[in-house]
Structure 1
Amino acid sequence: PNGVESADVVAVPKPPVANNPFLRLPEVPDLLHKLRRYRGKITTQLGIRLLLLTGVRTGELRLATPDQFDLECGLWIIPPEVVKQLQDGMRKRGQRPQDIPPYVVPLSVQAIEIVRYLLGQVKPAQRYLLAHRSDLKKRISENTLNAALKRMGYEGLLTGHGIRGTLSTALNEVGYPKSWVDAQLSHADPNKVSATYNHALYVVPRRKMMQDWADRLDLLDQGEVKAASAHLTIRIDGVPVLDEDVGVPADSMGADASPILLSSVVGTSDHP
C-alpha cells in the first residue's frame, strides 16, 4: 500500500507557478533598479522592459520585426504565425494564418518610446528589432534575456515568462476584467470552442489599461508601492471606471482607490 500512496503523491501535477515564478508588486522596484544598472547591451535591457510593458511572450519579442510596429496608432501587430498559442490549434484545424486575426498589442507611451529608440538603431542588414550580438541577420537568442535576469540575481526567481505572470497577477489584482488581461496576454480561453480566438479584442480599453500599468511601473520605480497597487474603482455594472466623464468625482473615491480613470468602452474588434 505504501507504494500506491507514494505513486499518488508523485502523480499530483505541480502548479505552473513552480516552474514560472513571478514577482509581486512590492518586489518590482528592485527589478527596475537592477535593470537600470544592468551593464550588458542596452538592447537586452530594453527588451526586458518591453516584456514588462506589454506582456508578450519572449518568443514574440525575439521574432519582432520593424514592420510589426505602427507607432502612429501605438500598436504592435503580431502576425498569427508568430503567436505560439495559435500555431498548434491552427495545425490541428488545418487553418492558414491568414484565416486568423493578428495579435494586437496596444503600446503605452513608455513602450512607444523604447520601440522608437530601437527602430532608430536598426542597421540595414538587420531583420529583427532585437538583433543577435554577432549576426545582424539573426534574432536575439532565447538565452540572452533569461541570462540577463540571472546576472541581475533572479536565477530561480524570475524568467522572461515569469514577467507575464507578474503582469497578469498584478492587473487582475488591481481590478481589471480577466477578459481584458487574457486578451492582452493572448491567452486563448480553454472554454471557448470557437474556431479562432480573436486576439484583437478590447483594444480600446486595453490601451488604457496598459498605459495605467506603465504609469504604475513608473511609480514602482520611484518606490511608491502603495500608489502603484491602488485598486480601480468599480462602477455598479462591474466595469472598472475609466473616462473622467463616466466616473465618480475624484474626491468621492475611497482613500485606497486609484485616481487613474479608464474608459469602459468594450469593443469586440476595434483596432483601427
Structure 2
Amino acid sequence: MKKRREHRIPLKEQMLALLEVMKPISGHRDFIFPSDRDPKKPCNSQTANMALKRMGFAGRLVSHGLRSLASTTLNEQGFNPDLVEAALAHVDDNQVRSAYNRTDYLERRKPMMSWWSGHIEEAAKGSLSVTETRQLKGITECPYQTILSTS
C-alpha cells in the first residue's frame, strides 16, 4: 500500500460477499481488479477515478474524496482517530511515535469496520444520509441487496 507497507483490512461479511461476486467477473484471476491491459497485474491507480467519471461524478468526486468521506464520517461517529488513521493506512507524522508504535490496530478496527460496512449498506439502500442524521428519499432498492443479505 502506501510507502510499500503491508496494509491489513478486517473485511466484514458485506465486503466479502461483494468480492465473491467480483471473482467470476475478473475471470478468477490473481487480482480481483486486474489491469485491462495485463490481467496478471492489478488495475491502475486511476481506474477508480475513471469509473467515477463514467458514473457522472466528473468534477465532483474523486476516489481520494471517498477516503476523506470515510475519515470524516468515522471521526464524527466518535471512533478513535488512531483507528481511523490506521484504517486509511496513514503513517504517523510523529517520527518518534511512529518508530515505537508499530501496531496496525487490526483487532480494535474490527468493530469500526463492522459499523462502516453496515453504514454503507444502509446508505446504498437510500435509507441514510452521509452523517446518518436523517432519512433520505430516492433509492428504494439496493442493487447489491441480494448479495449483502446472503451473508
2:53 equivalent among 147, 150, 154: 150
Structure 2 length normalisation: TM-score?
0.72
1:116 Cα deviation after fit? 2.5
| C-alpha separation in 1, matches of 2:40 and 2:100 | 33
| C-alpha separation in 2, matches of 1:153 and 1:227 | 19
* 1:107 counterpart = 2:15: no
| C-alpha separation in 2, matches of 1:129 and 1:196 | 35
Structure 2: give runs of 5+ residues left out of the alignment.
134-151
1:148 Cα deviation after fit? 1.1
* 1:138 counterpart = 2:41: yes
* 1:215 counterpart = 2:118: yes
Structure 1: give runs of 5+ residues left out of the alignment.
1-82, 88-96, 231-272
Structure 1 length normalisation: TM-score?
0.43
Partner SS state of residue 105, structure 1: coil
The aligned length equals 132
Contact persistence 1:108–1:214 (CA under 8 A): yes
| C-alpha separation in 2, matches of 1:117 and 1:222 | 18
1:196 Cα deviation after fit? 6.4
Kindly provide the CA deviation profile for residues 71-105 of structure 1, in whole angstroms up to 9, marking residues without a partner as x. Answer: xxxxxxxxxxxx22x34xxxxxxxxx7xxxx3221
Q: What percentage of aligned pairs have identical amino acids? A: 30
Q: Which residue of 2 aligns with 1:166?
A: 69
Distance 1:155 1:227, change over 3 A: closer
2:99 equivalent among 181, 189, 195: 195
User: RMSD of the TM alignment (CA)?
Assistant: 2.6
